[in-house]
Chain A
Amino acid sequence: MKRLILLLLIVASLPGFGMAKEAQPASDDPVLEERVMNLSRELRCLVCQNETLADSRADLAEDLRNQIREQMKAGKSDKEIVAYLTQRYGKFILYNPPVDPTTYLLWFGPFVLLLAGLFLLFRFVKQRRELITDQPLSMDERQRAENLLKTDQGKTA
């Protein structure tokens, strides 16, 4: 029994076992496949939206990869293929969001927040500084303080 468990553990730890693999290439031209996969990594799978086309095993992703492969075989450039896909699926298919008015908030929002935070911090610190400005003691207060200090010295001595 122990041996069996051990065997199972060994099998399970073999590389590749149970791991999610990238979709299998569908043609035997490694250069072309490399190109297809490279481009697919920059495109979003529209079914499982947080995956790239390269990682996805959804049916539609496979169709899209086939489409990309065919267009590459037909001699189209990566740019042309991306244009073809964005015309049909919109910019959402680009896994790296482009900088344009619809994504300004995404790209620049964090910096705006950072600036707002710095501004608030600056104001806060300035206010504090004003609160702790020197306020010289009045004659009375000075007298009391001296008295207190004297008595204190007397006690500890």
Chain B
Amino acid sequence: MSKLFLIPLVLFAVLIVFLAIGLGHDPHKLPSALIGKPAPQFALTELREPGKIISPDQMRGKVWLLNVWASWCVACREEHPFLMEIAKSRAVPIYGLTWKDQREDSLAVLSELGDPYVLNMADFDGRVAIDYGITGAPETYLIDKNGIIRYKEPGQLTPEIMEKTILPMVRELNR
């Protein structure tokens, strides 16, 4: 007896596997095209001190996180307490990029929830965000001492991502 009747069954099983993989896959989490490339240059004003201009060159020699956030971003609010924890642990400095926001609104969030950022760059028109290939907030980049982007988390930072991926890289890069 031919086993041809198994073919639809096998095809169905393959389909199920594909669908199952698809279920666990968030299409909004795109891999960054900038990994291993220099962090794009910018000159942005500081959120608290609008007279001060910040560029990534000032972070040379440090391993740092660039966290993209905004007051209108709900997921950023969810992520915020964890950022506070990271800041407290002093494991790695976090620099904020306030994306398409209003100065007062960003400042209001920081005074309400606390400020985990060493500095905040104000990208109110979203130009720098495009240079960084940002598709949504929050997003976090890990940038090394030479200003090279090493990792991007396209979504909220979680303790798991931090422990398993980012912190080991930070240790390695700080060596």
User: Distance (Å) between the CB of B103 and the closest chain A CB?
Assistant: 18
What are 9 pairs between A and B in contact, CB < 8 Å? A46-B30, A46-B136, A47-B135, A49-B28, A59-B100, A60-B135, A60-B136, A88-B131, A91-B33
Alpha-carbon distance A64/B32, docked complex (angstroms) = 17
Chain B residues touching A, range: 20 to 34
Q: What total of A-B pairs shows CB separation below 8 Å?
A: 47
A46 and B135 contacting across the interface, CB-CB below 8 Å: yes
For residue A18, which residues in chain B have a CB less than 8 angstroms away from its CB?
Answer: none
For residue A49, which residues in chain B have a CB less than 8 angstroms away from its CB?
Answer: 27-28
> Which residues in window 23-56 of B have CB below 8 A to A?
27-28, 30-34, 40
Alpha-carbon distance A60/B131, docked complex (angstroms) = 12
Q: Which secondary structure characterizes the binding site on chain A?
A: helix
Closest to A67 in B: B130
With an 8 A cutoff between CB atoms, is A24 at the interface?
no
The chain A residues found within 8 Å of chain B, CB to CB, are 46-47, 49, 59-60, 63-64, 67, 86-92, 120, 124, 127
> Which residues in window 11-28 of B have CB below 8 A to A?
27-28
For residue B9, which residues in chain A have a CB less than 8 angstroms away from its CB?
Answer: none
A88 and B130 contacting across the interface, CB-CB below 8 Å: yes
For residue B111, which residues in chain A have a CB less than 8 angstroms away from its CB?
Answer: none
Q: Which secondary structure characterizes the binding site on chain B?
A: loop
Closest to B27 in A: A49
For residue B100, which residues in chain A have a CB less than 8 angstroms away from its CB?
Answer: 59, 63
Residue-by-residue, is B117-148 near A (CB-CB < 8 Å gives 1, otherwise 0)?
A: 00000000111011111011000000000000
B33 and A87 contacting across the interface, CB-CB below 8 Å: yes
Additional A-B contact list (18), CB under 8 Å, known A46-B135, A60-B135, A60-B136:
A46-B136, A47-B135, A49-B28, A60-B126, A63-B126, A63-B127, A63-B129, A64-B130, A67-B130, A87-B34, A88-B34, A88-B40, A88-B130, A88-B132, A89-B135, A90-B33, A92-B30, A120-B7
For residue B132, which residues in chain A have a CB less than 8 angstroms away from its CB?
Answer: 88
User: Distance (Å) between the CB of B87 and the closest chain A CB?
Assistant: 28
With an 8 A cutoff between CB atoms, is B2 at the interface?
yes
B133 and A88 contacting across the interface, CB-CB below 8 Å: yes
For residue B7, which residues in chain A have a CB less than 8 angstroms away from its CB?
Answer: 120
Alpha-carbon distance A92/B30, docked complex (angstroms) = 8
Closest to B4 in A: A124
A88 and B135 contacting across the interface, CB-CB below 8 Å: no
Closest to B130 in A: A67
For residue B31, which residues in chain A have a CB less than 8 angstroms away from its CB?
Answer: 90
Which of B4, B27, B32, B40 is within 8 Å of A90, CB to CB? Answer: B32
Alpha-carbon distance A92/B31, docked complex (angstroms) = 10
For residue A67, which residues in chain B have a CB less than 8 angstroms away from its CB?
Answer: 127, 130
Alpha-carbon distance A64/B136, docked complex (angstroms) = 13
Closest to B30 in A: A92
- Would you list the 3 A-B pairs with minimal beta carbon distance, nearest first? A88-B133, A90-B33, A46-B135
Closest to A48 in B: B28
